[in-house]
Structure 1
C-alpha cells in the first residue's frame, strides 16, 4: 500500500526531523580526535578540474564506489538520496527535476529543463532510456542554472556523467548478481595498456534480466494471465586513449544499449461515466467502469499492447592539446536512439484508449573549448563555441472507444506523425579572477540561438488515409545565459559564495495540433537564480558541511494542456502561461567518526508557487508544482571492519524521507503521492588484497508503493498511474584481476 498518514510531513514532524539532523551534527562535533579524514573529491562542474570544496555551485558528487555501496544501477536510484533532486523512470521516458524545475513530458514537443551530459556531450532525448551506470568514474548533480558552460535546457541544473578512462595498468573484473523476481545480471570490464605510455583501451559489458513484478488479470476469473514490468537489457562501452605526445591526447569512445521489455503496469486509479462511455456500455458486455479498479497497484485487467523497447548507440571523440598556460579541447559526438512502446491506458479489456508509439532521434554535436590561466595565474578562464543538429521523428497510433465507433460505422483510429529538426549554436566564456588571496570574482556569459522546423500529419491506422493534411512550420529563438558571483575563502577549509545565474529552456512548436490555428510556436522559459553557499571542512577534515540557500524567478513557464480535438481525439497544446517563484535550501553533511566509520546526512527544502497564471490556462496559482516535494531528508551510515589477514566487512544503511507531492500538472487528490521513506541496506565481504567480493543487499525494504507517473485522462473517462518497484533482495559476487 502507499505511505500511511503517519509519514506525512506535518510541521511537528518536520521539526523533529530537523532536530535529528542537528543531533547528528552535534555527535560529529563531540567525536574524539582520530587520524581518519574525509578525502578530496575532484569535479569538473566548471569545465575544469577542481576540488569540490572550491566550486561555487550547489553540487552532489558520487564516485563509482559510492554508487556501488548504494546498490545504484541507474540514475533513478540516486534521486531519493540527493537533496532537491527528483528523478522517475517509466515507459514513456524519464521525468527529472532539480529544485522543482525540469519537465513533465518526454515527447518531441518539449525539451528538458535538466540537461544530461556524458563526458561533456549533451543527450537530447531520453525517452525509454535510463542510463545503465557502466564504466562510471563519477556522477555530478549540479543544481541551479548551468547555462553559461553547459548551455540550453539546464535551467534546473545538469547531470554530468564522467566515464572511466583507460588505465596504464591492466585491471579487470567480472561480476554476477542474482535476486528477487529471478534477477540475473552479469558484468565484465577490462582496462589496460596496448602500448605502454601511448595507447590504452577500456571495455565493459553488462546484461540485466528480471521477471516482472506486475500482473495482468483475467477479466472473468481474476487469475494471472501475464507479467508486466520486467527487465531485459544489454549495454556495452569501449574506449581507446591515444597519447602520441605528452601534450596531446585523443580519446575515442563507443557505447550502445538495448532494452526489449514488457511495459510497466498502467494501474487504473479511477473510472468515470462520460457520454461516450454511456453509449459504449449500451453496446458492450461487460461495461466499462469501476469494476476494473484493483486494490493492488501492481495489477491490471488491461488486454491491449504492453511493451517497451529502446535501442541507442553513440560515438564520441575528445581531443585535448595542452600548451604552456592554455589548453584546447574538441568534443565531437553522434547519438542515435530508437524507441518503441505501447500501452493499454484504460486498464480494462475494453478498448477505451490504447496507444502505440515509435520515436527516432539522431544528433551530431561539436564543441570547441579553450581554457587556461593568465595575469600571473590570478585569472582562470574558459571560452568556446558549440554546434548541434538533431533530426527526430515520431508516430503515435491511438484507438479511442473503438467498439462504439466501429458499431456506428466510423473510423476513429488515429496516427499522428511528427518530424522535428533543430539546430543550436552558441558561443560562451567564463573567468574567475583572484582579487586577493581570499576574494575571487567569477563572471561569464553565453549567447545561444536555436532553430526548429516541425512538420506533422494525421492518418487512419486502419486504412492509412490522410485525415489531417501535412503542415509544416519553423521558428528561431536567441537567448543570453550568464553567471556572476563572488567567492570568499575565510580559511583553507571554509569558503562562502554569492552568485546570480540565468538560464533558459528552448521554445518549440505544437506538433500535436490538428488545426492551423493550434500549430503555433511557444517561447523559451527563463530563470534567474540567486544563491548563497557554504563549503566547509571541520575537525581536521573529519566533518564536512556544505549548504546552499537559493531563490529563483521563473518566467514564461511552458505547460502542456491535454484536451480533445473536434473529433474527440487526444490533443496536446503547449503554451507559455505562467510565472513562478521558487526558494529553498540544501544542506549535506558527511563525517568520519573513527577509522572505517562514516556517516552522512542531508536535507532539502523547496517552496515553489505560481505567481501569475494566464486566464484560461489549465493551472491556477493555488496549485503545487508537480514532482516537487516540499521537504526531503537523507541519512546514511557505513562501517568497515578490517579482519585478521586484511579482509574487510562493510555494512551500510541508507534512509531517505520524501514529502508529499503531486503527480499531475493539473493537481488532483487522486494523483498525489503521499510522503514515504526509502530504506536500502548492503553487507559486503571483501577479501584481502581486494581479489574478490561477496555482497548481499536490499532495496525499498519497507515495501513502499511509490507512484512514479500519472495520467489524468478524465475527459476520456479515467485516470491511471504507474508505480515504482517493490521490495527486492539480491546478492552479488565479483572477482577482480
Structure 2
C-alpha cells in the first residue's frame, strides 16, 4: 500500500490545489479518449500501459505533419534523423536501421499494419484520427522489434455522410502546402474516403558552390479507403496509401575538412561546400484489407492483410568540399506482406481476451556504391574515377507467431493481466557481394550466403487494481526480443573475417503506473515508473583480432538498462480553456560494454541520443464569436529536451545541445466551423541548437542543426 500511496501523492502534487478543489465550471470537460493499444477498444485510463495519445484536433493545432513533429509533444519519445536515417527512440533506447540487415527497436504501425523499416518510419499524419505512442516492450500484441515501444497510427474511417475539406497555406522559406479530402457514401453501408496533400518549402542551408538550398521539403501523400458492410455483422475495409519524399537532404553540415584535420572552408552556420547536391528520394506504396465480423455479441473476428513497397535512394558528397573527389549512392528496396487473424472476447464476463496468429514476409535488397570523382587524383590515394567500392545483397525474413492476451477480473477491483507470444523467424542472406580499394582495407568477396533461425517465447504478466471507477494502478513485467541479423554494409577484411552476423537481443522490463480522471472529466492524469534491462544489446564494438589488429564489428556487445518515469496532466478549468503538461525522465546507460573503444569498457556511459529529461506544456483557449457563428482559438506549446551525446564514448565533442521550443497559433473559425483562418509560428523565439553530430567515413565531423523560426498562414474550408 505504501507504493500506491506514494504514486497518489506524487500525482496529486502535479495538480494545482485550487483546480482540485474547484467545483466544475459549466461546460468544462475533457473529451473521452478511446484507444486500441490492446487490439480492442478501451478507455485510456483502463489500459495498463504508459502511453501518450495525440488526437486529430491536437495534430492540427500543433501543425504536427509527421512523427518527427509529434515527438516534440510526447515525453520519452523522439524521432532522430541521423544522416538521413530515421530512428524512433523511446525511453532513451533506439537505434538500428543503418542497413537492411539491422532492424529497428521500435515498430510503427498504420491501422494495424507494420509500416516498414527505417525508410518508412516518419509517417505523414494526413487524415489521421489519432497517434498512440506505447512505451516499453510491446511484443505480446505487436510482435518482434518493439523492444523499446510501438507507435500505432489510426486513420479516419469512411462514414455515411457526404462531406469534405480543403486546406491551403503559405509560410516563410517559401512554404506552400495544400491538402484535402472527401467522404463519399456510395450505397447503403458503403463509403469511400479519399485524401491527399502536397508540401514544399525551401531549405535553411545554403550550398555555396551550387547556390542550392538544402534541408528543403518536397512531399506528396495520398490515402484512399473503401468501407463496406457486407451484411449481418461483417465489415470490409480496403485501403491504399502512397507517399513520396524528395528532398535535398545532407548527411550533415561539415565543421572540419575532409579528413577531420582542420576547420571547414565555410565556418558559417547553415552553409555547406558540396560540389554535388545531396538528395534523398523515398517512395512508399501500401495497401491493406481488414475484415471484421462479430461472431456473437461477445466474440469479434478480425483479419488484416497488408502489403507494402518501400524504395529508398540517397546520394551524398563524401568529401564535404567543393572538389569532385568522393560520392556515394545508396539504394534499398523493401517488399513486405503481413497477415494477422485474431479473435477478441469482450463482454460483461470476468475475462476479456485477444488471441491470434501472425505471419510476416519481407524481401529486401541493397546496392550501395562509393565512387571516385573527376578530381580524385588530387588526394594522392591512387583511387580510380568511377565506382571504387560497392555492396550488394538480398535478405529474406519470414516470421510466424501465436499470441494471446487476457484480462481476468479476479475481484471487482483486482484484474490479472497476462500475455504470451511465441515467434519463430527464418532469415536468409543471399548474394552478399562487396569490393573496395586495398588502401581502405575493405573486404572483397562475392556470393556470400548465410541463414539463421530463431525462436522466442515472450510473456507479460501484471495486476491492475481499481482505486475507484475513475482511477487504476497497475504493475507488470514484460519480455521482448529484437531479431538478429547481419551487418550488410561496407566492411573491411578484418570485420568480415570476424563475422558479420549478430544474434537476438532481449529485454526484461518492469513498470508500475497510475491512471485516472475526475468524475466530471475536468482532470486527467497518469504517472508511470519503469526499469528495463537489455541483454545482448546490438551495437558496434572493437574486436581484437590478434597481432595488434582490431576491427569494429556490429555485435551483441553490451548490456544496457534504462529507468525513469513519465507523468501527464490535462485540465479543463473553465469552459473553452484546456491546459496540459507532460514530463519524462529516462536514465539510459550501459551496465557493461567491454571494448567499446580499444581496451575501454563503456560501463556507466550514457546511451547515445538519450536525453534524461523531456517535457512539454500546452494551453488552448477558445472564445465564441457569435457574429460569424464561430470561435477564436489561441494556443501555445512549449517543449524542452535536455542535452545528450551522439556516441557511446560520451566525449565533449559528441555533446548535443539542450533546447527549448515555443510554438503558437491563433485560429478563427466561422460558419459553424465550416471555415477557419489561422496564423502560426514554430520555434517562436528562434532557438539555435545542435541536434546531431556525425563522423563520416573519411573522419569528417559534421553537425545537424535544429530548424530556426518559421511562420505562416493557413485557411480551411469544409462542406
Match of 2:227 among 241, 248, 259: 241
Q: 8 Å contact 1:86–1:627 — kept in the other structure?
A: no
Does residue 512 of structure 2 align to residue 532 of structure 1?
A: yes
Shift of 1:492: 1.0
Structure 2 partner of 1:16: none
Match of 1:418 among 385, 393, 409: 393
Structure 1 partner of 2:474: 497
For residues 507 and 543 of structure 2, the distance between their equivalents in structure 1, rounded to whole angstroms, comes to 28
Match of 2:24 among 9, 33, 54: 33
Name the SS of the counterpart of 2:672 in structure 1. helix
Shift of 1:205: 0.7
For residues 97 and 304 of structure 2, the distance between their equivalents in structure 1, rounded to whole angstroms, comes to 29
Shift of 1:186: 0.7
Which stretch shows the higher mean deviation, 452-461 or 656-665? 452-461
Name the SS of the counterpart of 1:245 in structure 2. coil
Match of 1:260 among 218, 233, 246: 246
Q: 8 Å contact 2:369–2:388 — kept in the other structure?
A: yes
Provide Cα deviations, 1:48-67, integer angstroms capped at 9, x if missing partner: 00000111100101111111
Q: Which runs of 5+ in 2 are unaligned?
A: 1-9, 438-442
Match of 2:76 among 64, 84, 99: 84
Match of 2:414 among 421, 428, 439: 439
Q: 8 Å contact 2:515–2:525 — kept in the other structure?
A: yes
With over 3 angstroms needed to count, the CA separation of the structure-2 counterparts of 1:98 and 1:21, relative to structure 1, is farther
Provide Cα deviations, 1:164-216, integer angstroms capped at 9, x if missing partner: 110011110011011011111111101131112x2111000101111121101
Structure 1 partner of 2:192: 201
Structure 2 partner of 1:593: 573
For residues 532 and 409 of structure 1, the distance between their equivalents in structure 2, rounded to whole angstroms, comes to 60
Match of 2:621 among 634, 639, 642: 639
Shift of 1:346: 3.9
Which stretch shows the higher mean deviation, 344-353 or 660-669? 344-353
For residues 716 and 410 of structure 1, the distance between their equivalents in structure 2, rounded to whole angstroms, comes to 14
Name the SS of the counterpart of 1:73 in structure 2. coil
Does residue 141 of structure 2 align to residue 149 of structure 1?
A: yes
Structure 1 partner of 2:299: 326
Does residue 214 of structure 2 align to residue 228 of structure 1?
A: yes
For residues 14 and 380 of structure 2, the distance between their equivalents in structure 1, rounded to whole angstroms, comes to 68
- Divergent runs of 4+, >6 A: 562-565
With over 3 angstroms needed to count, the CA separation of the structure-2 counterparts of 1:605 and 1:545, relative to structure 1, is same
Q: 8 Å contact 2:120–2:284 — kept in the other structure?
A: no
Pairing of 1:249-328 with structure 2 (within 5 A): 249-264=235-250, 266-271=252-257, 289-296=262-269, 298-324=270-296, 325-328=298-301
Q: 8 Å contact 1:93–1:128 — kept in the other structure?
A: no
Structure 2 partner of 1:382: 354
Provide Cα deviations, 1:306-361, integer angstroms capped at 9, x if missing partner: 11111110010001111212111110000001111112244212456532211111
Shift of 1:505: 0.9
With over 3 angstroms needed to count, the CA separation of the structure-2 counterparts of 1:561 and 1:216, relative to structure 1, is farther
Which stretch shows the higher mean deviation, 519-528 or 36-45? 519-528
Which stretch shows the higher mean deviation, 84-93 or 601-610? 84-93
Name the SS of the counterpart of 1:149 in structure 2. helix
For residues 725 and 557 of structure 1, the distance between their equivalents in structure 2, rounded to whole angstroms, comes to 32
Q: Which runs of 5+ in 1 are unaligned?
A: 1-18, 219-223, 275-287
Q: Report the aligned-residue RMSD.
A: 2.8
Structure 1 partner of 2:440: none
Does residue 425 of structure 2 align to residue 450 of structure 1?
A: yes
Name the SS of the counterpart of 1:169 in structure 2. coil
Does residue 473 of structure 2 align to residue 473 of structure 1?
A: no
For residues 250 and 700 of structure 2, the distance between their equivalents in structure 1, rounded to whole angstroms, comes to 18
Shift of 1:592: 0.3
Name the SS of the counterpart of 1:238 in structure 2. strand
Does residue 652 of structure 2 align to residue 669 of structure 1?
A: yes
For residues 710 and 542 of structure 2, the distance between their equivalents in structure 1, rounded to whole angstroms, comes to 36
Q: 8 Å contact 2:96–2:103 — kept in the other structure?
A: no
Shift of 1:270: 3.3
Does residue 99 of structure 2 align to residue 107 of structure 1?
A: yes
Q: 8 Å contact 2:657–2:691 — kept in the other structure?
A: no
Q: 8 Å contact 1:501–1:530 — kept in the other structure?
A: yes
Structure 2 partner of 1:161: 153
Shift of 1:560: 2.9
Name the SS of the counterpart of 1:132 in structure 2. coil
Pairing of 1:510-589 with structure 2 (within 5 A): 510-512=487-489, 513-515=491-493, 516-538=496-518, 540-561=520-541, 573-589=553-569
Structure 2 partner of 1:210: 201
For residues 158 and 522 of structure 1, the distance between their equivalents in structure 2, rounded to whole angstroms, comes to 23
Structure 1 partner of 2:6: none
For residues 67 and 341 of structure 2, the distance between their equivalents in structure 1, rounded to whole angstroms, comes to 28
Provide Cα deviations, 1:526-554, integer angstroms capped at 9, x if missing partner: 11111110012137321111010111111
Q: 8 Å contact 1:346–1:720 — kept in the other structure?
A: no
Match of 1:347 among 316, 320, 329: 320
For residues 391 and 218 of structure 2, the distance between their equivalents in structure 1, rounded to whole angstroms, comes to 29
Q: 8 Å contact 2:255–2:263 — kept in the other structure?
A: no
Which stretch shows the higher mean deviation, 495-504 or 701-710? 701-710
For residues 172 and 611 of structure 1, the distance between their equivalents in structure 2, rounded to whole angstroms, comes to 54
Q: 8 Å contact 2:543–2:595 — kept in the other structure?
A: no
Name the SS of the counterpart of 1:545 in structure 2. strand
Provide Cα deviations, 1:228-284, integer angstroms capped at 9, x if missing partner: 11111111110101111131011000001112221246211334867xxxxxxxxxx
Does residue 683 of structure 2 align to residue 697 of structure 1?
A: no
For residues 20 and 716 of structure 1, the distance between their equivalents in structure 2, rounded to whole angstroms, comes to 51
Q: 8 Å contact 2:541–2:557 — kept in the other structure?
A: no
For residues 563 and 185 of structure 1, the distance between their equivalents in structure 2, rounded to whole angstroms, comes to 50
With over 3 angstroms needed to count, the CA separation of the structure-2 counterparts of 1:721 and 1:111, relative to structure 1, is same
